[in-house]
Amino acid sequence: MSSFYIQTYGCQMNVHESEKIAGILRDRGLTACDDVRDADIIVFNTCCVRETAETRVLGHLGRIKSMKKPGAVLAVCGCMTQRREAAEALCKRCPFVDIAVGTFNIHMLGEYIDMFSATGERIIEVWDEPREAREGKPLRDGGVNAWVNIMYGCNNFCTYCIVPYVRGRERCRPIDDIVRDVEELLDSGKKQITLLGQNVNSYKYKDKTFADLLGYLELDRKYRLKFMTSHPKDFSPALAERIAQSKVLSHNLHLPVQSGSDRILAAMNRHYTRSDYLSKVESVRKLVPDIGLSSDIMVGFPTETEADFADTLELVERVEYNNLFTFIYSRRSGTPAAEMPQLDYKTKQARIDRLIKKQFEISKSVADRAVGQTVEVLIAEVKDGKAFGKTESDAAVTLGADGVEQGEFVKVKIVSSVNANLTGEVVK
């Protein structure tokens, strides 16, 4: 066996997990390939946060059957297969799947592949909880950013969400391990580090908090530090001050509000009100005026009325997010919201259309206001005579490639904005 192909679904957490899987396979002497038809080992790292994610996995699996070369090993892992019933149903439906494991034993994929190769017997192994923490060396891409887990799991049990069931309770990594990882990554040339956790604000290691951890990462080097995701209930004034004082923290904040209606927020078990949220936004804007805000919003949560949705639209207008990720509520069996009265699909679809339209107008006007400003851009990619990068507030900018290199921080003047896309010129 010599090559592998990994197909990833879902969030950044999963993208990074795939880098860890790639690390395991690299350590066994395999190399990555771009075409699934050439691969000796195919891994599907799945997501189950919405039904659409699961449908996509099943659809792609169906197609892989005829594409994989004879003898290639097909493994399915991740959030979808962490639900034992789902793993078993998937294996029944797709007899060509050789290995199915959940999220708690992904680190053993190498051993499972060996076992399968030796016996030819299909392996379906799902653990109910994490038994050991093994951190391998991920195989990262050649980009400027590196992901670093600071914690795993989630304790929040938002009533719509499957994540706590498939990722388990919160487990935080030791501060020293995180700092060492970050230093090594910067030594290796990375220019941006994104700390990952379902709710980074509740990071706790011994007596140290997330704000403390960020303090330890104020290294005397030029780099950008980001984190996601922040739960609004735990977003503290200390954290806003930390961003304001920091030399390395990016001026952007992903603070998912989910809904603008107090009644819906309570039904979602989010533990904050609309006015709590708005005052947190106001306090961080006061301390960090150029903060770029982004959010996740879900429409069509059970019982959501037109008035609830109007509250969401109004909040979106009020906050003026730079970027918004919008979702239609998807019923996840086993979660409390699945038992609540559901909305019909047409209503949900019409609401998301209205939300997307509203945000597009806002994104356009936020981008228009950036024209004329001079900002620092981290160049992420140089390709076909163009350079692409992000500002401190996380806005994407395109510029000419002349004299700029990937990984450089450059001063850029924003010269135009077309449909929320910024173009800039390097300031000499």
Residues that bind ligand F3S (CB under 6 A): 10-11, 13-14, 47-49, 79, 163, 166-167
Q: Toward ligand F3S, which CB reaches closer, 19 or 308? A: 19
From 22-30, 127-135, 325-333, 359-367, give the range in contact with ligand SAH by CB under 6 A. Answer: 325-333
Q: How long is the chain? A: 428
Shortest Cβ 85–ligand SAH spacing (Å)? 17
The whole-angstrom separation of Cα 348 and Cα 350 is 6
Contact status: 38 vs ligand SAH (CB under 6 A) = no
Shortest Cβ 202–ligand SF4 spacing (Å)? 9
Among 256, 292, 302, 389, binds ligand SAH (CB under 6 A): 256
Contact status: 347 vs ligand SF4 (CB under 6 A) = no
Contact status: 336 vs ligand SF4 (CB under 6 A) = no
Contact status: 258 vs ligand SAH (CB under 6 A) = yes
Q: Residue written as tokens 């005829």?
A: 66
Burial category of 95 from C-beta neighbours within 10 Å (exposed 0-12, middle 13-18, buried 19 and up):
exposed
Contact status: 330 vs ligand SAH (CB under 6 A) = yes
Measuring CA to CA, which residue among 65, 68, 57 is closest to residue 7? 57
Interface size with ligand SF4, residues (CB under 6 A): 10
Contact status: 5 vs ligand SAH (CB under 6 A) = no
Among 38, 88, 125, 296, binds ligand SAH (CB under 6 A): 296
Shortest Cβ 151–ligand SF4 spacing (Å)? 11
Residue 327, contacted partner among ligand F3S, ligand SF4, ligand SAH, none, CB below 5-8 A by kind: ligand SAH
Question: 128-132 long-range CB contacts below 8 Å, 24 or more apart?
Answer: 128/104, 129/104, 129/168, 130/104, 130/168, 130/171, 131/104, 131/105, 132/107
Residue 400, contacted partner among ligand F3S, ligand SF4, ligand SAH, none, CB below 5-8 A by kind: none
Shortest Cβ 362–ligand F3S spacing (Å)? 25
Task: Kindly write out the interface string for residues 191-220 of this chain, putting x where it contacts ligand SF4 by CB under 6 A and - elsewhere.
Answer: -------xx---------------------
Q: Toward ligand SF4, which CB reaches closer, 160 or 223? A: 160
Q: Toward ligand SAH, which CB reaches closer, 49 or 387? A: 49
- Contacts of residue 52, defined as CB under 8 A and 6 or more positions apart, other chains included, come to 330
Per CB under 6 A, which of residues 231..260 are in contact with ligand SF4?
231
Residue 164, contacted partner among ligand SF4, ligand SAH, ligand F3S, none, CB below 5-8 A by kind: ligand SF4
Q: Toward ligand F3S, which CB reaches closer, 224 or 332? A: 332
Per CB under 6 A, which of residues 107..166 are in contact with ligand SF4?
154, 156-158, 161, 163-164
Shortest Cβ 185–ligand SF4 spacing (Å)? 25
Shortest Cβ 13–ligand F3S spacing (Å)? 5
- Contacts of residue 175, defined as CB under 8 A and 6 or more positions apart, other chains included, come to 205, 208, 212, 213, 216
Positions touching ligand SF4 (CB under 6 A) are 154, 156-158, 161, 163-164, 198-199, 231
